[in-house]
Amino acid sequence: MLLPGAASAKKPHIIVIMLDEWGYNNWGVHAKDHANSREVRTPSLDALATVGIVLDRHYAAPLCTPSRAAFQTGRNPVHVTAVNGDTARYNPAVRTISGFDEIPTAMTGIASKMASGGYRTHFLGKWHAGYASRLLLPKGNHCHSDTAMNEFQIE
């Protein structure tokens, strides 16, 4: 698949904002059509939405780790098998470091794909997709730099 501008020398900046436990009406773009529209004020996010692309029709896992791992790898959560502490799903053949709660190191992720296209990638915020080894952190997943947080601490 070819993307418009993919062959051009000047690449567009891409910013992805992923939020946990964020209701559909919790930002101004969607709240405008609902009763709580006067309570919800998100001017910066609204401004980004007017010049960017809003993807609001997606499936997500009910917990953050499977959703984050799925986004980072481009796979459905069940195929990444990252879980939030459910050791009953531990598979030592796939999980060679901690066993669960991580993106397997052999999986290709969005950061490596972006890097192969000439982008530099930076991760900021809650990672929560593996932290038992430095290989599981954003830099281990091909981000050029990161300011990642796990378990409410900055790495």
| Known active-site residue 144 | no
Catalytic annotation, pick one of 13, 34, 64, 143: 64
∠ CA(9), CA(13), CA(18), 5° rounding? Answer: 150
CA dist., res. 94 & res. 43, Å (int): 43
Beta strands in the chain (DSSP E): 122-126, 145-150, 153-154
Annotated catalytic residue 128: yes
Among residues 154, 144, 75, 137, the alpha carbon closest in space to that of 115 is found at: 144
Q: Between vectors from CA 111 to CA 95 and to CA 51, what angle results, nearest 5°?
A: 135
Strand pairing partners for 122?
A: 145
Which residue in the list 128, 142, 143, 144 is annotated as catalytic?
Answer: 128
- Quote the tokens at residue 151: 């378990």
Kindly list the catalytic residues: 64, 128
